[in-house]
Amino acid sequence: MVRRKNIRLRGKVSLSKYFQKFEENDSVAVKREISVNASFPKRLQGRTGVVKGKKGKAYIIKLKDQAKEKEFLIQPIHLKKIVSINSK
């Protein structure tokens, strides 16, 4: 897990990431933005989940935490959209 940003990116927040939009059932990966306080546990870094809805500015993400399915409220700056290939 990365603990520092590159010196040229330190303190900067990408506005396009902050205002990105997701639809229901989109696959997303959790990638903590270090310069913004995260309101979810560090152990979720790198996990993938599904968007179930929106609550205020945050998205409801359904993740598998250990053996249980859980829902977390995560801001869009900490999310990255994943393009899933459906094989038939």
Q: CA–CA separation, 84 vs 36, rounded Å?
A: 27
CATH class of residue range 15-82: mainly beta
Residue ranges of alpha helices (H) inside 1-88 are 15-18
Sequence-distant (≥ 6) Cβ neighbours of residue 17 within 8 angstroms = 33, 76, 77
Does residue 1 register a pLDDT over 70?
A: no
Angle at CA 32, nearest 5°, toward 31 and 35?
140
Q: List, for residues 38-85, the tens digit of each pLDDT value.
A: 888 888 999 999 999 999 999 999 999 889 999 999 999 999 999 877
Residues in the chain: 88
Contact yes or no for 77/86 (Cβ under 8 A): no
Whole-model pTM: value is 0.84
**Domain coordinates of the chain in residue numbers?**
15-82
